[in-house]
Amino acid sequence: MSQLAKVFTRASTGMDAPLVTIEVHISGGLPSFAIVGLPEGAVKESKDRVRSALMNSKFKFPNQRITVSLAPANLPKHGGRYDLPIALGVLIASAQIKPNINIEQFEFYGELGLDGLLHTTEGLLPAVIEAYKSKHNLVIPYDDYGQCALVEKAQVFPAKHLLQVCAFLTGMGELEKPAVQTNIKAKYHNDFLQVKGQYHAKRALEIAASGGHNLLLRGTPGSGKTMLAERLPSIMPPLSTEKALERAAIYSITNKPLEPSQLHVRPFRSPHHSSSAVALVGGGSNPKPGEISLAHEGVLFLDELPEFPRHVLEALRQPLESGEVNVSRAQQQVTFPANFQLIAAMNPCPCGYYGDGTSKCHCTEDQISRYQKKISGPLLDRIDMVLEVPPLPKKVLLSQQSDSAESSETIRLRVLDCYNRQLKRQGKLNDQLSTDEIDNLIVLNADNKQLLENVIDRLHLSARAYHRILKVARTIADLDHADSVEQQHLIEAIGYRRHNG
C-alpha cells in the first residue's frame, strides 16, 4: 500500500525564498531512496543523513521504494535545509507519526546530524520574511532562533532535535522559545571625538552622510583618511526596521548573522585591494552577495583606490547608478540590493608624499600621472565630492582634544534633521534625485546659472558631474535649513568637485 506525504519549506535563491513542496511517496518494489527536482550535491546526500537520523532516533527506516520530489522541479535546490522536511515526510508517509495540527500551515528547515540533532542553516531570514507574509508558522534549528526572531511578528518555533519536532507535531510536547532581546540600542565603536583637527574633512563627511553622496579622500600617508572614513557610520541616521531586516537578510544569506546591537547601525565594509570582481559585486555558481551588497544602506570604503585592479573598479559603475546588482548564471539569475555609499581614499602619488611641502617625494611627473590615471574618468564622474586631507600639524597632533570638538552624536543629530527634511520634501535622499526632479527642486537665479556655466567650461564637466554639483549644493542648503540653493551653497559644492573635474 503506497502512501504520500506533503511538507513545505523554501529554497534560497538570492534574496528570494520561493516555496518548495516536498512530496514523499513510499511504495512497493525494491528498496531505494530517490530525490528528484534539481538537487545539488548536499541535497542528494540528504538521503544518508536522513536514514541515520531516523534510525538513531529509534524510528524505522522503510525498507521500500522511497521517492522524494522537490517541487517546483525546475528550481535548483542547494544546502542541507531540506533534511528536516524530508525526514518528516518519510515519517508521515510511513505512518510512524500522525500530526494533530494542520501541517500545511507550517514550514520546516534544518540540517540533520546523524544523531538527529538539528544544525544551523544559512540564509533562513529571507524564508522567515516570506513565510510571515504567507501567514505560515516555521520550525527551525534552535541555534538559528536569534536571527529569525528579528521578524518579531513571525511565528517561529525552535527545536534542537528531530524527536522534539515529532513530539510537537503529535501534541506530545512543546517547542520553547528562548528569550531574545531585539530592541537593543545601537552601539558605535568609533567616534569623531577621537579625531583631532581635520575640521574641513569632518564638514565634508557630514555633507556626504546627510545626502548619501560618494566621497574621495586624497592625502599623504598618515593624514587620517582611513580614520575619518571609519567614523562615517557613527554620524549616519540609524536604519529603519524595514531596512535593517533587509540588511540582516543579506548577512543571513552569507552566513554572517548580525548582533542585535548592530542591527540598526549602518554597515561599513572595507575590502582589501586584492579583492576580485566576484568578491566585490557577488557571484559564484550558487550566487552569493558581494561586498557592495554587504554594504547595502551603508558605506563601502575602498582604501588605496588606485591599487584595485581597473576591471574590478569598473564593475562598480552600474551598481552605483542603479542601487542593485544583477548576477546572471547558466541556471539562475538573481538580483541583490546594493544601495551603498562609496567612500574611497588614495595617495597623491606612488610614494604618497607629492605636494606635502617637503622633499620626500621623488616621483616623476610621468609616474604621478600614470598612478592617478589608474582610476577611470567614468568612475570619477560618479564621485560627488573630492577632498584633500592635509597632514596634521605637529602642534595639533601633540595637543589635547579641544573642548570645541564635536562628538558623533552631536553631528548625527544635524545629519538626521537634514535627512528628514529630504524625506519630507521628496521621499528620498538628494543623491537619488532624477534629472527631472533636480530641475523641479533646484531653481537657480541668473547669477548662479552664470556661475555654473563658467565652471562647466573651465572644469570640462559632464552632464552627470553638473547634476552631482547641484545635488551636493541642495544637501548643503538643507543643512543650513535654506529653502532654496544660494550662491554660497553652490560655491562650496563646486569646491568639492574642482579636484576631479
Let me know if residue 185 belongs to a domain.
no
pLDDT value of residue 2: 55
Please report the pLDDT score of residue 499 as a whole number: 59
Q: Among the three residues 372, 397, 428, which one is the final residue of a domain in this structure?
A: 428
**What is the per-residue pLDDT across 326-363, written as a single tens digit (0 to 9) for each?**
988 777 788 999 999 999 999 988 988 887 767 788 88
Cα separation, 149 vs 72, whole angstroms: 28
Q: What is the mean pLDDT of residues 314-319?
A: 93
Q: What is the mean pLDDT of the chain?
A: 91
Mean pLDDT of the 54-81 span: 95
Q: In this structure, is residue 187 part of a structural domain?
A: no
**Given this model, what pLDDT does residue 264 score?**
87
In a domain, 486, yes or no: yes
- Specify whether 196 is located in the same domain as 337: yes
pLDDT band, residue 315 (cuts 50/70/90)? very high
Residues 305 and 333 in one domain: yes
pLDDT tens string 161-171: 999 999 999 99
- The count of domains in the chain is 3
Question: Are 135 and 197 within one domain?
Answer: no
Q: Region 315-330: what's the mean pLDDT?
A: 89
Give the domain extent around 322: 192-428
Q: What's the grid cell of residue 92?
A: 508521515
**Is residue 100 located within the same domain as residue 205?**
no
Provide the pLDDT for residue 401.
Answer: 64
Q: Which is nearest to 208 in space by CA: 229, 186, 184? A: 229
Same domain for 406 and 437, yes or no, is no
* Cβ(76)–Cβ(108) below 8 Å: no
Residues 270 and 308 in one domain: yes
In a shared domain, residues 25 and 142: yes
The edge-to-edge listing of strands for the beta sheet with 137-141 is 32-36, 65-71, 19-27, 3-10, 106-108, 137-141, 156-159
Answer yes or no: do 411 and 442 share one domain: no
Quote the pLDDT of residue 474.
Answer: 96
Local structure of 218: helix, strand or coil: strand
172-181: pLDDT as tens digits: 999 998 887 7
CATH of the domain at 422: 3.40.50.300
d(CA 495, CA 489) in angstroms, rounded, equals 10
Q: Do 246 and 232 reside in the same domain of the chain?
A: yes
Give the lowest-confidence range in 51-65, 144-158, 244-258, 350-364.
350-364
Closest CA to 64 of 40, 96, 38, 42: 96
Q: Is residue 326 part of a domain?
A: yes
pLDDT, one tens digit per residue, over 445-463 is 999 999 999 998 888 888 8
